Structure 1
């Protein structure tokens, strides 16, 4: 499938990868204007193909024809071709390979035979996209794989009636056009299980606003998930004929199709346990420092003027996962600050905290996904996960001890460990930057989950044979620098952080086995942290440090304690030159 190449081309067209123009927009003809702020133009999608499957072996919905018509119209306006069929013979490996997404439009009952089921499983494993609409959850009850794909299966429903839909995720392309709540009339399904633990819930039903719901206070009605190599989106709406002429519902379907077909990115990992800091509840606990401000419209904060900082003064945080949604209008500049002390001076955050950057076109250590001025994102991973200006993105900033991990739309793009004794990530406030005139960046759905009392990483010297310290040669942080023994001198080159991820870190980088090797004598060096097995060191009960990938131990060459003795990998033997004392 070529959809990823097309998306990268679209990013380039938007200036994220070097160009300046903003080309024709994705059609917004189906987007209601009363619920959403103006949407910046984004690159037109590359052409792609969608299979709409509506076979029924049980109840047949009278709205299927209207649904097919609506999907054809959406395709004509948004550069995808719709092939509609009720013939299950379309489910062959060769035929399915031609489609970026397959829509199950109110299918019911057993609609695929075992051979066709196997073909569809293979399609998803190869990176296919599934969009389930309404009675797609009333399908294939005896096929366990499909139940996992759909996320939950139909149990019952009351009569058709209006209800309030609570929009939980306003960054996903299927729901970003909606306000915090959505008033709709439809046939509201109850499900046999709650999908929240295995899928990311985009919207849920408020059962207090209609009669006959049986799932209680947590009643998901639309969700997304990565599944068996592919992407799966489901919406419970779409029973009525009127659904398919409703602009908001049509845009909801379009967003689900675009995401399933990998034309847009989103964080579809399951999410539980977060506390809102900003959303429909407003800005209680927040304070502006410095010039400029943020405008709060429709539970969306938009920056203006500056340089200032809108910071959460109500509480400092230590170990946490912070999630928030953000959108640039164009080539704009903003950022999220963490780990800074309380202050009404926005420069205090700059000088004492760390900024997670939002900026489409700056240098690698100052562009989107970087820890500003300290560490660039993995740019290839960043580019693959990033939506262009005009579309929403989601950051997760995970802080544990002095380690900060950054996820963009569910993908890890940065992993940074603070090595500056004048700064600390272990306690501080969070804030949003308003960078200056003309920098238009918006934020939504700011939420946090405290990660409990898990102890942070330990810091200090690592000592070995002869009481000598593990040392980075010449105090150099260059990749490939030899790690050695040296007389202990309390320098930065001998300060190590024992990470909760089994890494040993110094000077902002990791103790690494050269080339990921496993041969006796392989060099032990300093190298940029990359979460590979070559950088994992597990303390053993006998005092050795073992690398699980190679099955071998950290060793001082020649059983020597002389200054400059090189450390290398060697078969474990518990000799004195393999015994290490880590920081307490």
Structure 2
């Protein structure tokens, strides 16, 4: 009986060892770096985004590393990742080294970028000058105003043929957002994938800009890039159209779709 038990334990140990070896040998499809805000009024969105991203990474066999500051961003760091996700983090407080590294990353064609919401907070804030390159990257825009009391709005897909918009209805409702407006529409300088119909705001708001793109890509850069304005309310992760948009964007920017 003792010999039989020992034999069974040896067989189980062998299976476990093989399983662990298989897990170690399983190669990640790509690596993603996520820059996020760990405080302020975007913290609830971050707290909803991280478990969603972690599940997506597990289900889709890629890996994620998180950073909450730009101080460690440099060329050596960025070259390790196939996609850089700027999760509600503004384009200021960056050091000269981190700015130059990101600019080179976007010009290299060796990695992609997905930016959300706060990434277009372009202007002079907290004593920092506007990052002119980033403004040009986002279509030559500057932040002007926003809707602080939040309204719902209907987002309309403009390019159904793009991989980022695959599987998304022609329009979908975003129930709570502080829609930014800029000094001009970025349309002339970027490829618009979706816009918000300001006539659908509920309740109505006087803060409007007319032509109002909210999802776009800038084809003037070698690296794939997608900006998605929506990204304030954690409830967005219960919106299937939004999560499909974000998932598509990550895979496309990482050149895996």
Q: Into which bin does the TM-score normalised by the smaller protein fall?
A: 0.7 to 0.9
Q: 1:72 to 1:111 in 2, by over 3 A?
A: farther
* CA–CA distance in structure 2, aligned partners of residues 200 and 111 of structure 1: 28
Structure 1 gaps, min length 5: 1-44, 265-584
Let me know the Cα RMSD of the aligned residues.
2.3
Could you tell me how far 1:61 is from its partner in structure 2? Answer: 4.3
Instruction: Say if 2:84 and 2:113, in contact at 8 Å, map to a contact too.
Output: yes
Match of 1:236 among 229, 238, 244: 229
Aligned to 2:246: 253
Higher Rg of the two aligned structures: 1
Instruction: Say if 1:63 and 1:240, in contact at 8 Å, map to a contact too.
Output: yes
In the alignment, structure 1 residue 177 sits paired with structure 2 residue 167: yes
* CA–CA distance in structure 2, aligned partners of residues 71 and 150 of structure 1: 24
Q: How does 1:560-579 map to 2 (within 5 A)?
A: none
In the alignment, structure 1 residue 81 sits paired with structure 2 residue 63: yes
Aligned to 1:160: 150
Instruction: Say if 1:55 and 1:88, in contact at 8 Å, map to a contact too.
Output: no
Match of 1:53 among 31, 35, 58: 35
Q: How does 1:59-138 map to 2 (within 5 A)?
A: 60-108=42-90, 110-127=92-109, 128-138=111-121
Instruction: Say if 2:164 and 2:245, in contact at 8 Å, map to a contact too.
Output: yes
Aligned to 1:4: none
- 1:546-566 Cα offsets, whole Å, 9 max, x none, are xxxxxxxxxxxxxxxxxxxxx
- 1:372-400 Cα offsets, whole Å, 9 max, x none, are xxxxxxxxxxxxxxxxxxxxxxxxxxxxx
Could you tell me how far 1:139 is from its partner in structure 2? Answer: 5.1
- 1:173-225 Cα offsets, whole Å, 9 max, x none, are 32221222112213122223211111111111111111224111x21111112
- 1:123-173 Cα offsets, whole Å, 9 max, x none, are 122212111111111157511111122334432222322211111111223
- 1:288-323 Cα offsets, whole Å, 9 max, x none, are xxxxxxxxxxxxxxxxxxxxxxxxxxxxxxxxxxxx
Q: 1:108 to 1:60 in 2, by over 3 A?
A: farther
Instruction: Say if 1:232 and 1:260, in contact at 8 Å, map to a contact too.
Output: yes
Aligned to 1:393: none
Q: So what's the TM-score if we normalise by structure 2? A: 0.77
Instruction: Say if 1:90 and 1:96, in contact at 8 Å, map to a contact too.
Output: no
Q: Which has the higher helix share?
A: 2
Aligned to 2:189: 198
* CA–CA distance in structure 2, aligned partners of residues 83 and 258 of structure 1: 16
In the alignment, structure 1 residue 150 sits paired with structure 2 residue 138: yes
* CA–CA distance in structure 2, aligned partners of residues 154 and 140 of structure 1: 6
Paired residues in the alignment total 219
Structure 2 gaps, min length 5: 1-26, 125-129
* CA–CA distance in structure 1, aligned partners of residues 95 and 165 of structure 2: 34
Q: Which has the higher strand share?
A: 1
Name the structure, 1 or 2, with higher relative contact order (CA <8 Å, separation 6+): 2
In the alignment, structure 1 residue 263 sits paired with structure 2 residue 256: yes
Aligned to 2:219: 226
3-state SS of the aligned residue for 1:239? coil
Q: So what's the TM-score if we normalise by structure 1? A: 0.35
Could you tell me how far 1:47 is from its partner in structure 2? Answer: 0.4
3-state SS of the aligned residue for 1:237? coil
Instruction: Say if 1:52 and 1:68, in contact at 8 Å, map to a contact too.
Output: no
